[in-house]
Amino acid sequence: MIRLSLSTLLCAFLSVPALALDSNRADVREFIEEMTRDYSFDRDELTQLLAQAETKQAILDAISRPAERVVPWYEYRQQFLTDTRIRQGTSFWRAHAQRLAAIGDEGIAQTVAGILGVETSYGRITGRYRVIDSLTTLAFDYPPRAAFFRKELQQFLILAREEAVDPKVALGSYAGAMGSPQFISSSYRNFAVDADGDGHRDLWSNWDDVIGSVANYLRVHGWRGGEPVFAEATLASPDLAAFDTKSIALNESVQSLRDKGVRFETPLPPEAPAMLIVAQGKNGPLYRVGFNNFYVITRYNRSNMYAMAVHELGQAVRATIPDAER
């Protein structure tokens, strides 16, 4: 008996050519039946739509590409805290000052500016793949995460119907993230808002909806107005044995960190949840204490470095805007 290794099998799946999705495949037929039965899609129309989707080798290559080396914080920061991106952020803030002010929380407004800058350079880099191609490719030809992407495909089709989006035209990332804020389909349906009241939630071309939707995402995930994101810190001892710095979790409190020799300033009370963050600076480790709002940013992207970059970029952009223009 010939036994194929998992890597050999995966390579076989990843060699799928760029061609139209076969709507007669058993798994595709099963999906069509599910959407017809559970969500009242027209069977023939959905079959025709999926038959126009293309399995893209480039998408499979992108999602299965070996992870690049984990860059240290000081290199990661340099990618986003550039003069160009800060200027872009300044232009974005000035163009949308009224909508940002309408959020009613400058901390969220600043964080929205940081997220949109890190995610897509304020709408300049939003993805070049048809979302229908990305999601069908990954739902039916990428076994490691097929279940997840099948659900996202389901959500995308429902979203397209709800928001009158042409599913054959909508573009996004290779993983199906859409628009300036890079919402996946389930996040789009759950957290996007119609900020300007025109009857549609448009994250591709309506900046009011984009800003309002990112702000809503932060609020739903527990943002607390007026509270800090993180504080610079020093340690009494470089020994980190007493800390869990690998988990992205509020696994300490202000007081417990101080009891362990972490020195930092914050207006938050002793019982406030907190976490110790260790980042690699150019000349050695840097320490910060993250609070609730830091954790909220990591719900957008589960990375401490991402959350730090978002916060610092948002701060840098906000600093360029005179008080009279905010």
Do 60 and 131 reside in the same domain of the chain? yes
The CA R_g of the chain, rounded to the nearest whole Å, is: 22
Q: What is the pLDDT of residue 149?
A: 98
Written as six digits, the tokens of 88 are: 């872009």
**Final residue in a domain of this structure, among 177, 199, 219:** 177
pLDDT at residue 223 is higher than 70? yes
Question: DSSP strand E in the chain: where?
Answer: 19-20, 54-55, 129-130, 171-172, 230-235, 252-253, 262-263, 273-281, 284-290
Do 236 and 163 reside in the same domain of the chain? no
Task: Give CA–CA dist 270/288, Å, rounded.
Answer: 16
Do 164 and 236 reside in the same domain of the chain? no
Q: What is the pLDDT of residue 326?
A: 67
Do 168 and 252 reside in the same domain of the chain? no
**% of the chain residues with pLDDT over 70:** 93
pLDDT at residue 247 is higher than 60? yes
**Final residue in a domain of this structure, among 140, 162, 177:** 177
On whether residue 259 sits in a domain, the answer given is yes
On whether residue 316 sits in a domain, the answer given is no
Do 33 and 136 reside in the same domain of the chain? yes
Between residues 3 and 22, the one the model is more confident about = 22
On whether residue 323 sits in a domain, the answer given is no
Distant-in-sequence, close-in-space partners of 118: CB < 8 Å, separation ≥ 6: 80, 306, 309, 310, 313
Region 280-290: what's the mean pLDDT?
A: 96
pLDDT at residue 216 is higher than 90? yes
pLDDT digits (tens, 9 = 90+) for 117-151: 999 999 999 999 999 999 999 999 999 999 999 99
pLDDT at residue 2 is higher than 50? no
Beta-bridge partners for 20: 54
Average pLDDT for the chain: 93
Do 259 and 172 reside in the same domain of the chain? no
Say what the pTM is. Answer: 0.92
Full domain range(s) for residue 239: 230-290
Between residues 194 and 322, the one the model is more confident about = 194
CA max distance for the chain: 76
pLDDT at residue 8 is higher than 50? no
Q: Is 232 one of the catalytic residues?
A: no
Q: What is the pLDDT of residue 19?
A: 78
Q: What is the pLDDT of residue 73?
A: 97
Helices 83-95 & 304-319, crossing angle to 10 degrees?
60
Do 140 and 32 reside in the same domain of the chain? yes
Q: Considering its fold, how many domains does the chain have in total?
A: 2
On whether residue 160 sits in a domain, the answer given is yes
b/e burial code for range 267-287 (CB count within 10 A of at least 16 → b):
ebeeebbbbbbbbbeeeeebb
Region 209-214: what's the mean pLDDT?
A: 98
Region 39-47: what's the mean pLDDT?
A: 97
Q: What is the pLDDT of residue 18?
A: 57
Q: What is the pLDDT of residue 66?
A: 74
DSSP category for residue 196? T
Region 107-115: what's the mean pLDDT?
A: 97
Task: Give CA–CA dist 90/227, Å, rounded.
Answer: 24
Region 288-302: what's the mean pLDDT?
A: 98
Q: Are strands 273-281 and 284-290 parallel, antiparallel or unpaired?
A: antiparallel
Q: How far is CA 58 from CA 134, 174, 321, in A?
A: 10, 8, 41
CATH of the domain at 60: 1.10.8.350
Q: Which of 147, 119, 281, 128 is nearest to 214 (CA)?
A: 119
Q: How confident is the model at residue 11 (pLDDT cuts 50, 70, 90)?
A: very low
Half-sphere exposure (CA, 13 Å, Cβ side) for 40?
2
Q: Which helix (H) or strand (E) holds 118?
A: helix 106-120
5-13: long-range contacts at Cβ-Cβ below 8 A with a sequence spacing of 24 or more? 10/64, 10/143, 10/144, 13/60, 13/141, 13/142, 13/143
Do 136 and 278 reside in the same domain of the chain? no
On whether residue 295 sits in a domain, the answer given is no
On whether residue 309 sits in a domain, the answer given is no
Q: Is 7 exposed, middle or buried (0-12, 13-18, 19+ CB in 10 A)?
A: exposed
**Final residue in a domain of this structure, among 136, 159, 177:** 177
On whether residue 76 sits in a domain, the answer given is no
Query: What is the DSSP code string of 246-272?
Result: SS-S--EEHHHHHHTTEE---SS-TTS
On whether residue 300 sits in a domain, the answer given is no
Q: Out of 30, 119, 162, 265, which one is annotated catalytic?
A: 119
pLDDT digits (tens, 9 = 90+) for 298-315: 999 999 999 999 999 999
Q: What is the pLDDT of residue 172?
A: 98
Do 59 and 132 reside in the same domain of the chain? yes
